[in-house]
Structure 1
Amino acid sequence: MGGALETLCGQAVGSGKLQMLGIYMQRSWIICLATALILTPVYIFTPPILKFVHQTKDISEVAGRYTLWAIPQLFAYAVNFPLQKFFQSQSKVWVMTIISGVALGIHALLNWIFVTKRGYGIVSAANVGNFSWWLINLAQFIYLVSGCFKEAWGGFSMEAFKNLAAFVKLSLASAIMLCLELWYYTAVIILVGCLKNPELAIGAIAICMNYQIWTLMISIGFNTAVSVRVSNELGANHPKAARFSVIVTVSTSAFIGLIFMVIVIVERKQLPKFFTDIPELVREASELGYLLAATIVLYSIQPVLSGVAIGAGWQSMVAFINIACYYLIGLPIGAIFGFKLKLNALGIWVGMLIGTILQTTILFMIIARTKWHIEATQAEERIRLWGGQIELHTNQGPV
């Protein structure tokens, strides 16, 4: 629900309308916090929800115990995401990087003390996560009000409550687009949990997905960078610069993905041992090594293309593409391979990969055929239509 901020803030910066950023961020806070409140029952009732989709009792109970204690993180995300996009749209990332690095060190230390050494378990892990996320929010808010953003941040204002309806529309489109991508992984895990011996299958998938997520963080960085750059350039009416940034970012991320792919193929039998010493689990995860390598190189490109879509404001279109590729093609094929053809976790992963390949191919073709000068002329209209007009009066101070 915060995805609208990426498009609107980036294009507002490009067009020189910095005074709009603080209002946009506050609108996004309102929408994201309301969404977190709506989602809270999902965290509370996680065990029965997981049991309803045929997950084992043990897995459901452990997951439910964690999510109940992790509810503060849900609201921390709602505060953090708009803050991040506010900073990123203005290319203010180094302070954020330092804050995240310090918080990561504290997070790792606290986990080592309370989870590993003292053995307080999953509840302690959730509480450490709560502390770490709110620590990040506090540090970023101090940076916000430090005086470094005099043009973009004028304090809290009642203007944030105006024109919310238009903002919500783009937020919903962004949420549908992004959730359909993220829930794809969740659906795969649920399918794997329905296999025989689900603990072993989920363990193998979890190991592979950890490595995938580690490498995905690189392409997510490019996702953010290209989203900001494309939105900035379109807002500034520089279509050629927007197109060039797409080419450079996709090429760079794909090259890094190829390097990771080679590493995974060469070390596929050793990588699972960083997570477990159970021979059956190591063997099961190793068998997924080639698919993991293919997924890594594919996901070095796909998030970048999604970032281009966000920067250009194509969320609604991409949402329909995701529904077709992921849920009408990828998951059904994965279910057939995994259950009917008895390929188990391997078959489910193949289905996921097919859906992602199709989605990436379609996005690539759309971007290749995009007339960027037309997108640039639409940027100002998009800010007016989706963001709502903001009238700032000289005699109106922050509330």
Structure 2
Amino acid sequence: MAVVSAVALLFHLFLSWLLIVQFKLGLVGAATSLNAAWWVVVIGHLEFWFYMFLIVLAGNLRNAQVAVAAISICINLYGWEMMVFLGFNAAISVRISNELGAGRPRAAKFSILVVIMSSLVFGLVFFSLVLVLKDVYGVPFTNSPDVVAAVTDLAVVFAFTLLLSSVQPVLTGVAVGAGWQTLVAYINLGCYYLVGVPVGCLLAYYFDQGVKGMWSGMLTGVGLQTLVLTGITAGTNWDKEAMEAESRIRKWGGSVDEPANKD
């Protein structure tokens, strides 16, 4: 929760500078920045609580000590990896809002492409490392052979989770930058709690797949979220979004420099 709050604070400070100093929106800019920062907290906590909920559910599995330990190790590693992509999330969010507000839809689309490709490179590195080190990546965290074996068994689904999670925060940042915070919150809620948790419980308890089934449910939720956000981003008319953003800035009393072209 401290990490989510810190990210929200940094996002709030940068967006306040952008709207108040650069776009000269004054009090309206300050209010808009604060509102956007609150949504970052909501979106971040929905995801954070989901992973904590998985640990609670793992406590009801057979051999609960091993299950909880294995999931906890993977979630901690996942959290470390996410620090990289939360940086991409904040950067693309501010960049998209900046480009749309300045009336540059092509620059916004190019920024999305660059950040997605960059984050994918990191994601593929993490994906490959887990698969190559699948027999030993849990060893630094435990001296229990049973826990190490359980973590090894999770390697494939965990690696795919890391790969998907290299793109998902970027797409979330794009959505927040475009002003779709409410939509993202509902997508997170639906994908994690209405799909991920039920699928995980079904696989873990009914099909007796244990920890791997529980994590596969999480992977399903993350995969669906990534798919939905990809569809929304790809289907968006960015020229229209730029015109609407520029119109709102003018309506609120801000000034927008006219670019030589809309690139």
Question: TM over 0.5, yes or no?
Answer: yes
Cα distance, 1:389 vs structure 2: 7.3
Cα distance, 1:178 vs structure 2: 3.0
Counterpart of 1:267 in structure 2 is: 133
**Is 1:252 aligned to 2:118, yes or no?**
yes
Structure 2 residue identity aligned to 1:84 = L
Cα distance, 1:276 vs structure 2: 1.3
Cα distance, 1:91 vs structure 2: 9.7
Cα distance, 1:176 vs structure 2: 3.9
Tell me, in whole angstroms, the C-alpha distance in 1 between the residues paired with 2:79 and 2:120.
Answer: 15
Cα distance, 1:378 vs structure 2: 2.2
Cα distance, 1:296 vs structure 2: 0.7
Counterpart of 1:310 in structure 2 is: 176
> Aligned residue pairs: how many?
250
Q: How does 1:49-68 map onto structure 2 within 5 Å? A: none
Counterpart of 1:186 in structure 2 is: 52
Counterpart of 2:147 in structure 1 is: 281
- 204, 215, 232: which one pairs with 1:366? 232
Describe the SS at the equivalent of 2:52: helix
Identity of paired residues, percent? 38
- 85, 92, 95: which one pairs with 2:11? 85
Tell me, in whole angstroms, the C-alpha distance in 2 between the residues paired with 1:174 and 1:219.
Answer: 14
Deviations 1:260-311 (A, max 9, x none): 1111101011111111111111111111111111111010110110010111
Q: How does 1:87-236 map onto structure 2 within 5 Å? A: 87-89=13-15, 173-236=39-102
Cα distance, 1:85 vs structure 2: 2.1
Change over 3 Å in CA distance of 1:91–1:280 after alignment to 2: farther
Tell me, in whole angstroms, the C-alpha distance in 1 between the residues paired with 2:246 and 2:197.
Answer: 38
| Consecutive unaligned residues in structure 2, runs of 5 or more | 255-263
Counterpart of 2:260 in structure 1 is: none
Does structure 1 retain, via aligned residues, the 8 Å contact 2:4–2:44?
no
| Consecutive unaligned residues in structure 1, runs of 5 or more | 1-72, 93-149, 391-399
Does structure 2 retain, via aligned residues, the 8 Å contact 1:174–1:316?
no
Change over 3 Å in CA distance of 1:384–1:341 after alignment to 2: farther
Describe the SS at the equivalent of 2:142: coil
Describe the SS at the equivalent of 2:11: helix
Structure 2 residue identity aligned to 1:329 = V
Counterpart of 2:201 in structure 1 is: 335
Larger C-alpha radius of gyration, 1 or 2? 1
Tell me, in whole angstroms, the C-alpha distance in 2 between the residues paired with 1:248 and 1:89.
Answer: 21
Cα distance, 1:77 vs structure 2: 7.2
Does structure 2 retain, via aligned residues, the 8 Å contact 1:250–1:304?
yes
Counterpart of 1:355 in structure 2 is: 221
Describe the SS at the equivalent of 1:320: helix
Deviations 1:210-256 (A, max 9, x none): 22222222222211111121111112111110010001100111122
Coordinate RMSD, CA, aligned: 3.2
Q: How does 1:7-86 map onto structure 2 within 5 Å? A: 80-81=6-7, 83-86=9-12
Cα distance, 1:163 vs structure 2: 9.2
Change over 3 Å in CA distance of 1:285–1:383 after alignment to 2: farther
Does structure 2 retain, via aligned residues, the 8 Å contact 1:291–1:350?
yes
Change over 3 Å in CA distance of 1:90–1:254 after alignment to 2: farther
Change over 3 Å in CA distance of 1:283–1:163 after alignment to 2: closer
Tell me, in whole angstroms, the C-alpha distance in 2 between the residues paired with 1:226 and 1:170.
Answer: 14
Structure 2 residue identity aligned to 1:302 = Q
Change over 3 Å in CA distance of 1:274–1:88 after alignment to 2: farther
